[in-house]
Amino acid sequence: MTRIVFVGNCQAETLSLVYKRCIAPVTGAVASHVLTYTDPSDADRAALSQADIIVEQVFDFEQRFTLAVPGRSVRMVRFPWVAAHFLWPHFNEAHPRNTPTWFLPSGPWPAQLGDSVLNRMISQGVGAAEAAARYLDLDLATTARLDRRYEMIIDRQRDRDAQAEMETANYIETRFRDERLFVSPDHPDLGLFLHLACQVYERLGASSADMARVRSMLSRTPFPLEESPIHPAVARHFGLRFWRETDRYRHLRSGWFSAAEYYRRYMDYQWDEIAHEGIALAETGRDEDALARLGEGVQRSPRCGAAFASLAHVLGRLGRSGEAEAAVRQAVALAPDDPAIRSSLGHVLARLGRGEEAASAFADSLVLDPDAAHTQMSFSHALVALGRHDEAIAPARAGIAAEPFRPEWQAHLDALLDHVGRAANPR
């Protein structure tokens, strides 16, 4: 059994998690991660002392924890930290009120989503609407020296590439105008993540089949979906062809916001705290506590579709299906393009015994997100409940293609194929 330890920031952690999900079930390797921006735990030190391979992230600034040279023979693989800070020239300073919670350890507006210009306006007492308007009118190309900043950041990326003997700077430089490579300053979007991951995993011995599996199992970035707006002046200066004035940006589970709305929410430190705590309680199975918190949360944040969807799940588990339907339909009305909420509607309707409507809701969800493995399997089960076994095979296969290490899913497909085969060839 090969023990692999990824050492670095959230990018190292994500590489470890994806390896565990997509490759380790085949290779039998054990993957873990040690974060370098916190003090290592005893478990971290034990993992490093037992590692067969250490995958170390290359930085050009000091980390809180620096990896010591192992006192024994350990294979080392290095990879570069990737970033596009020229697109967010004033990031890396958390909101002055940012506070960690038990259900959101980094807080709602950490440095990854922070902005030093907005923070200065907060300290000056500028109102949210005025601050957003003033910020959007800034000529960042001049005040932030974007061209020089870009040159320095790409040069540093090349240096990190050289130290790791990998290539990411050219990828960023040749593509950043045409496709979204980052969802926020340090969080790569899917294309760049796969470009980096393929180089790392191949050095760990991943086969072409392993890499094909990674690509098939990842339909979106494995990083949190919280997005940071690209300032219009930055987008225009660099000629970003993927950027649109009308783009909307997701913050936590509160929804999607225009840049102006996003900046106003930042200034006012809005993040639907009670609703998010209720969602976290529901996800940990504390239904009675979640019910109380979500009830208050949707009153205080009546536009938070995710909170209504979570409330529907709790009500359904408590047997209050009629109330669950009302809650999830409110969620759909608030977020009609959210595939997860459409899928939630399907589950509520299935629990109510309204099979045709449930199947339709799952189908609507898959139009929005055809790669959602769990929704594919839910759709397959809904079709089976309606006696439409032939139609249930395709979504079952699609679900397994996206999540191949679920034996219960394979058993479902095997039973389907057996049933259809026996129906076609009765004895």
* Residue pLDDT, tens place only, 82-132: 999 999 999 989 999 999 999 999 999 999 999 999 999 999 999 999 999
- Domain 272-424, CATH number (from 1.10.10.10, 3.30.365.10, 3.30.420.40, 1.25.40.10): 1.25.40.10
* Residue pLDDT, tens place only, 238-288: 999 999 999 999 999 999 999 999 999 999 999 999 999 999 999 999 999
Position 148 pLDDT exceeds 90:
yes
Q: What pTM value is reported for the model?
A: 0.92
Cβ–Cβ < 8 Å for 21, 46: no
Cβ–Cβ < 8 Å for 131, 119: no
Q: Average model confidence (pLDDT) for the chain? A: 95
Give the separation between CA 67 and CA 60, rounded to whole angstroms.
14
User: How many percent of the chain have pLDDT more than 90?
Assistant: 91
Position 427 pLDDT exceeds 60:
no
* Residue pLDDT, tens place only, 156-204: 999 999 999 999 999 999 999 999 999 999 999 999 999 999 999 999 9
Position 66 pLDDT exceeds 80:
no
pLDDT value at residue 70: 62
What average pLDDT does this structure show over 223-250?
A: 95
What average pLDDT does this structure show over 66-73?
A: 68
Domain ranges, ordered by start, for the chain: 82-185+228-271, 272-424
pLDDT value at residue 61: 79
* Selection from 251, 337, 327 nearest residue 294 by Cα: 327
Q: pLDDT class for 69, splitting at 50, 70, 90?
A: low
pLDDT value at residue 421: 86
Non-local CB neighbours of 164 within 8 Å, separated by 6+ positions: 58, 78, 79, 80
Give all strands (DSSP E) within 89-208, no chain letters: 182-184, 187-188
**CA dihedral sign, ordered 415, 419, 422, 426:** positive
Mode of pairing for the β-strands spanning 182-184 and 187-188:
antiparallel
